[in-house]
């Protein structure tokens, strides 16, 4: 019985060796093709990773340039503020600011009040001109330097912006946040009755000309 089993095993091994030898070229060919496919896959993955890295580096460089430009603008405008505050800042000066100057002026106020402040880029900010943080409380601000009263649109934009940035997240300095406690609109002018009503409905805080003058006096003395 053992001899019969041995014979069957021997014959089986012999047949396996025979067909392995016969199929060896095909096995080698399949292995080579598999190796080539693997190498090509790795090369494509490396190219893709390299492209992603290059895009990331480009975006990083762009953000750095934007940040440097913002700091440069802030430096220039802050010098202007310092010169004006030495002679007591006046609302007539603020009324001459363009939109960007008004935003950076507000940044200076909040920095002096002890807030961490982030000014957004000049366009495509989704309702946000500044983010401010102090003692864990974070607010989104829309700045409106206007020659006329501010209407509903500003309220709608900052309210939508608040919801947008809670979902998307944002940075103040190098810290990322996903919460906003308050939405604020600040203007050098006043608000229409409809805008005031809408702000009450959405819980948006309004700084009008009177409030801004008050804060300027408190800040600059």
Residues 121 and 60 in one domain: no
Higher pLDDT, 1 or 188: 188
The residues near 122 (Cβ < 8 Å, ≥ 6 apart) are 100
pTM above 0.95, yes or no: no
Residues 38 and 93 in one domain: no
Backbone phi and psi for residue 16, each to the nearest 5 degrees, phi listed first = -60, -45
pLDDT at 4: 66
Higher pLDDT, 196 or 41: 196
pLDDT at 184: 97
Residues 126 and 50 in one domain: no
What is the residue range of 37's domain? 1-69
Higher pLDDT, 166 or 66: 166
Number of domains the chain is built from: 2
pLDDT at 220: 75
Going by C-alpha positions, the residue among 76, 137, 147 that lies closest to residue 110 is 137
Residues 110 and 194 in one domain: yes
How many helices and strands in the chain, by DSSP H and E?
6, 7
Asked if residue 75 belongs to a domain, the reply is no
Going by C-alpha positions, the residue among 118, 122, 106, 109 that lies closest to residue 187 is 106
Residues 62 and 104 in one domain: no
Going by C-alpha positions, the residue among 151, 107, 156, 115 that lies closest to residue 133 is 115
3-state helix, strand, coil in the chain (%, to 5): 65, 15, 20
Name residue 131's beta-bridge partners.
118, 140
The residues near 142 (Cβ < 8 Å, ≥ 6 apart) are 127, 128, 129, 154, 157, 158, 161, 183, 184, 185, 186
pLDDT at 12: 66
Report the C-alpha gap between 93 and 71 in whole angstroms: 22
pLDDT at 63: 67
Tens digits of residue pLDDT in 91-146: 888 898 888 889 988 998 999 899 999 998 766 578 899 999 999 999 999 999 99
- Kindly state the average pLDDT of the residues 6-13: 64
Scanning 127-175, the segments in alpha helix (DSSP H) are 152-168
pLDDT at 94: 86
Residues 63 and 92 in one domain: no
The residue out of 69, 100, 129 marking a domain boundary is 69
Asked if residue 37 belongs to a domain, the reply is yes
pLDDT at 5: 66
pLDDT at 106: 93
pLDDT at 40: 78
CA angle, corner 33, sides to 28 and 36, nearest 5?
A: 125
pLDDT at 3: 61
pLDDT at 205: 97
Residues 98 and 54 in one domain: no
Q: Under the phi-then-psi rule, with left for phi > 0, alpha for psi from -120 to 50, and beta for the rest, what region is 135? A: left
Tens digits of residue pLDDT in 34-90: 778 788 777 878 877 777 777 777 777 776 666 666 666 656 665 655 555 554 567
Report the C-alpha gap between 82 and 25 in whole angstroms: 84
Asked if residue 200 belongs to a domain, the reply is yes
């Amino acid at each position: 019985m053992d001899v019969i089993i041995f014979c069957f095993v021997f014959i089986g091994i012999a047949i396996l060796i025979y067909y392995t030898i016969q199929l060896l070229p095909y096995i080698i060919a399949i292995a080579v093709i598999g190796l080539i496919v693997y190498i090509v896959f790795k090369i494509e993955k490396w190219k893709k990773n390299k492209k992603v890295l290059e895009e990331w580096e480009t975006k990083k460089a762009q953000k750095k340039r934007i940040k440097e430009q913002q700091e440069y603008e802030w430096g220039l405008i802050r010098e202007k503020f310092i010169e004006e505050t030495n002679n007591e800042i006046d609302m007539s000066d603020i009324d001459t600011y363009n939109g960007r100057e008004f935003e950076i002026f507000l940044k200076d106020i909040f920095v002096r009040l002890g807030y961490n402040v982030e000014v957004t880029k000049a366009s495509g900010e989704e309702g946000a001109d500044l983010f401010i943080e102090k003692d864990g409380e974070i607010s989104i601000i829309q700045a409106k330097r206007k020659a006329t009263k501010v209407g509903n649109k500003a309220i709608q934009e900052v309210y939508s912006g608040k919801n947008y940035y809670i979902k998307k997240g944002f940075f103040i300095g190098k810290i990322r946040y996903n919460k906003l406690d308050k939405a604020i609109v600040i203007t050098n002018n006043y608000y229409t009755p409809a805008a005031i009503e809408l702000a009450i409905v959405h819980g948006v805080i309004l700084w009008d000309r009177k409030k801004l003058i008050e804060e300027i006096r408190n800040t600059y003395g």
